[in-house]
């Protein structure tokens, strides 16, 4: 089961890549169904590529390390 703590630890692994581009990520919530809600901040919050970063970067990584994650959305 993907819980808030395990998802937050995994997010810490992708955070440096986002910070290198002037952005950041904050974990908002994790539902019982594995839906992860995050907030992209800084440059990532207004970047036109943010959705691709979220889906192909963050979501792909979280699903790889935490198979119970069903999707990642911005909230």
Question: Each residue of 3-50: pLDDT tens digit?
Answer: 999 999 999 999 999 999 899 999 999 999 999 999 999 888 888 888
How many beta carbons lie within 10 A of that of residue 40, not counting itself? 21
Instruction: Identify the structural domains of the chain with CATH numbers, from first to last.
Output: 4-74 (3.30.300.130)
**DSSP secondary structure string for all residues of 13-50:** HHHHHHHHTTEEEEEEEE-TTSEEEEEEEEHHHH-TTH
pLDDT of residue 27: 97
pTM for the full predicted model = 0.91
């Amino acid at each position: 089961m993907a819980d808030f703590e395990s998802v937050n630890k995994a997010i810490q692994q992708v955070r440096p890549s986002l910070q290198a581009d002037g952005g950041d990520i904050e974990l908002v919530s994790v539902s019982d169904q594995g839906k992860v809600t995050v907030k992209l901040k800084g440059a990532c919050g207004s970047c036109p590529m943010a959705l691709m970063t979220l889906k192909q970067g963050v979501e792909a990584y979280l699903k790889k390390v935490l198979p119970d994650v069903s999707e990642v959305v911005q909230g």
